[in-house]
Amino acid sequence: MFTRQGPTLGELTVQALSSVERGYDLLAPKFDHTPFRTPGVVLDATVEALAGHGPFADGLDVCCGTGAGLNVLESLCDNRATGVDFSTGMLTQARDAHPDATFVRADARALPFTSGFDLAVSFGALGHFLPADRPALFESAYRALRPGGLFAFPIEAPPPPTSSWFWLTHGFDLTMRVRNAVWRPQFVMYYRLSALPDVTADLSAAGFETTSVELTAAGEYRPGSPRCLLVLAHRRR
């Protein structure tokens, strides 16, 4: 899963014992060599799925990290893309990779934008928000969008219990629960706390009208069973 340019086990351990923000600051220079960066196949499938929903002028990448989602915005939006993240280290990497984009350091639960964007995307970050934090995240994204704007993000379909990913993600979440019970600061990252029905209910409560499409091109557990769905949450006009 990790290449030689990626973090060592020692570095990963120190990062995992830090807060989310500090952990990503430390990981930032090597983040693009980890499996945590959203793969190109998911980004490409997202561009394809969103192409018919435009036109989009201004785009926002929520929890942009080193800028994976900015590639999506640069393909779909007419104006400069904006990336927002709370990790200074990740923003530094993103700035180097996307010199034409605008970057803002902020907590995604309190975005400093009002009706500024036609499209907001977010990749690989939902697991960093506990269910209790999702209302603030979604209300914040809702405020950032113009009426009629779209908030789109991929979400994993539940893996079948016969897959190794099922056991890996459940094992990871259990480890994080134990870690967070005995260690401060917390590192919130759970794979299995963001089921689509719960996420959809929270989006509706924030005011969104929500649908989803299958991202078959991003991979399947078995034929006809896609690994990923793209959530499409529309701010009402």
Ligand X SMILES: C[S@@+](CC[C@H](N)C(=O)[O-])C[C@H]1O[C@@H](n2cnc3c(N)ncnc32)[C@H](O)[C@@H]1O
User: Which residues sit at the interface with ligand X, rule CB under 6 A?
Assistant: 20, 24, 36-38, 63-65, 68-69, 85-87, 90, 107-109, 123-125, 128
What's the gap between Cα 76 and its chain centre?
A: 18
Answer whether 183's CB lies under 8 Å from 190's CB: no
CB 56, CB 81: distance < 8 Å: no
Shortest distance (Å) from residue 26 CB to ligand X:
11
Shortest Cβ 206–ligand X spacing (Å): 16
Cβ nearer to ligand X, comparing 88 with 225:
88
Determine contact, residues 94/74, Cβ cutoff 8 Å: no
Shortest distance (Å) from residue 61 CB to ligand X: 7
**CB 55 to ligand X: min, Å:** 23
Q: Which residue is nearest to ligand X (CB)?
A: 65
DSSP H or E segment with residue 229: strand 228-235
CB closer to ligand X, 66 vs 210: 66
Instruction: Give least dist CB 124 to ligand X, A.
Output: 3
Task: Give residue for tokens 């923000």.
Answer: 21
Q: How far is the CB of 222 from ligand X (least distance, A)?
A: 25
Tokens of 174: 């259990």
Nearer to ligand X, 22 or 146 (CB): 22
Q: Given the complex with ligand X, which of 33 and 53 has the nearer CB atom? A: 33
Euclidean distance between CA atoms 2 and 15, whole angstroms: 15
> CB 224 → ligand X: shortest distance, Å?
26
Q: Smaller CB distance to ligand X: residue 61 or 148?
A: 61
Distances (CA, A) of 92 to 23, 53, 79, 174: 15, 31, 21, 32
**Cβ proximity to ligand X, 58 vs 61, nearer residue:** 61
Structural tokens at position 102: 């605008």
- How would you class 196 by CB atoms within 10 Å of its CB: exposed for 0-12, middle for 13-18, buried for 19 or more? middle
- Residue closer to ligand X, measured from CB, 125 or 150: 125
Strands, sheet with 117-122, edge to edge from the N-terminal-most edge strand: 102-105, 81-85, 59-62, 117-122, 145-156, 228-235, 208-214
